[in-house]
Amino acid sequence: MAVSGFEGFEKRLELHFSGDDPVFLNVGLRQISFDSLEQVLREVQCTVVSAVGNHYFDAYVLSESSLFVYPTKIIIKTCGTTQLLKSIPPLLHHALNLGLTLSYCRYTRGNFIFPLSQPFPHTSFHDEALYLENTLPNHLCFRKASVMPSNLPSHAWHVFSACDQTRLLPDFYTVEICMTELDRTLARKFFRRPGDGKSGDAAGKEMTELAGINKINPNALVCDFGFDPCGYSMNGIDGDRYSTIHVTPEDGYSYASFECVGSIYDDDDDGDGEDLVRMLKRAVQVFRPAKVSVSTTSASHRVWARVVGAMEPLGLKCRSCTADEFPAIGSVVFQTFTARRKKPVECGGCTR
């Protein structure tokens, strides 16, 4: 492994807000001006490179990952040496000016490949949790921080959640896949040819089609960007759902992530979740990683159970499965898989 390189593993922050005016809430946070969002992102040390929106939300591709702005929630996902948690104070300020109050916060990340390169407050999970404790408003009184381990030393899942007294469980799920040791041939698709003369948008479109990312969810409108000399990001929007992919293809610390959201009530007709399984399969097949970790956040146990059904046909064996409960989230289930020939563990249940 390289001594130092670009940090692919993202930090992810999700903030939910509430207010009293139901008409106003149809627009809510989407009223924050682009200039104000850019100021927030300057605190994080990144910027917008491409954007798309629809009736439900706005999606921004960042120089380091993605930003999604809904009327009452914001999701920011950043990689590299960004200082993601520093976005909280200015976001709370803008929300307050719109008459919105923070009701829920969730922060997650995997294990950094280059932890010593991270700036404060991301120098350790202890520092991150302490920063969150001191930054979040006191009315978010139900809080929990946990590190979910696995049998793979390079993969663990860090979760911090906080919510107010409503403690309502969401009806949506989030699946976050982290992939390392990507197939070298497939990873080369995310390198640009020197002097290709293309814009980042044009290079991203070419990578999307060449890698088959446009086939993961054919219904999604894709907003993509190809970085120079290498690297790739995309946001897909499909109604009120988003998906996002980020790729760091360099050999020695190659990494790719895929994230998608959905409703626990929108199973396909036969109720077996085959649409989700199909999408997860297609996403992982783009990269053929040697190691995979999957975090599923949901109030329903049916969602995480489908992950094995997506991974095993690809030759990935389950190595560990851990579950924990968090306020206003429900269950977080963390599973790891590897293509190496080792005896797998049974994934019929999870340890706690």
| Amino acid at position 297, single letter | T
Q: Mean pLDDT, to the nearest integer, of 102-109?
A: 96
Query: Given this model, what pLDDT does residue 267 score?
Result: 57
Q: Pairing between strand 48-53 and 232-238?
A: unpaired
Task: Compute the distance between CA of residue 41 and CA of residue 235 in angstroms, rounded to an integer.
Answer: 17
pLDDT tops 80 at residue 349: no
Which alpha helices (DSSP H) does 76-211 contain, by range? 88-97, 125-135, 184-187, 200-211
3-state secondary structure 183-244: CHHHHHHHECCCCCCCCHHHHHHHHHHHHCHHHCCCCCEEEEEECCCECEEEEEEECCEEEE
For residue 65, indicate whether it is catalytic: yes
Active site residue 233: yes
Interatomic CA distance for residues 80 and 248, integer angstroms? 10
pLDDT score at 269: 45
Both tokens assigned to 318: 């389950």
* 227-244 average pLDDT score: 96
Distance from the Cα of residue 261 to its chain's centroid: 10
Query: Of all residues in the chain, what percent carry a pLDDT higher than 70?
Result: 91
Instruction: Considering only CA atoms, give the Rg of the chain.
Output: 19
Place of tokens 């995310």: 190
The pLDDT confidence band at residue 340, using thresholds 50, 70 and 90, is low
Q: Give the residue among 120, 179, 114, 128 at the shortest CA–CA distance from 158.
A: 128
- The yes-or-no answer on residue 246 being catalytic is yes
Reply yes or no on whether the pLDDT at 2 is more than 80: no
Helix (H, G, I), strand (E, B) or coil at 72: coil
- The pLDDT of residue 1 is above 50: no
Q: Which range has the worst mean pLDDT, 95-99, 326-330, 346-350?
A: 346-350
What is the band of 341 on the pLDDT scale with cuts at 50, 70, 90? low
Average confidence (pLDDT) over 198-202: 97
Amino acid at 332: V
* 3-state secondary structure at position 111: coil
Q: DSSP string covering 281-301, please?
A: HHHHHTT--SEEEEEEEES-H
Mean pLDDT of the chain: 91
The more confident residue out of 350 and 315 is: 315
Average pLDDT over residues 56-67: 97
CA–centroid distance for 61 within its chain: 13
Given 7, 181, 250, 259, which residue is catalytic?
7
Q: How many CA atoms lie within 13 A of 175 on its CB side?
A: 29
Residue 10 designated active-site: yes
Q: Mean of the pLDDT values across residues 214-221?
A: 96
pLDDT band at 4 (very low <50, low <70, confident <90, very high): low
Does residue 253 contact residue 153 with C-beta atoms inside 8 Å?
no
Pull the structure tokens for residue 261.
């959201």
Share of the chain above pLDDT 90, in %: 78
Among 122, 155, 158, 246, the one annotated catalytic: 246
Q: Point out the catalytic residue in the list 233, 243, 295, 298.
A: 233
Of 50, 63, 65, 257, which one is the catalytic site residue?
65
pLDDT at 305 > cutoff 50: yes
Q: Are 217 and 279 in contact (CB under 8 A)?
A: yes
Q: Is the model's pLDDT at 224 over the cut of 80? A: yes
Q: One of 14, 16, 79, 260 is an active-site residue; which one?
A: 79
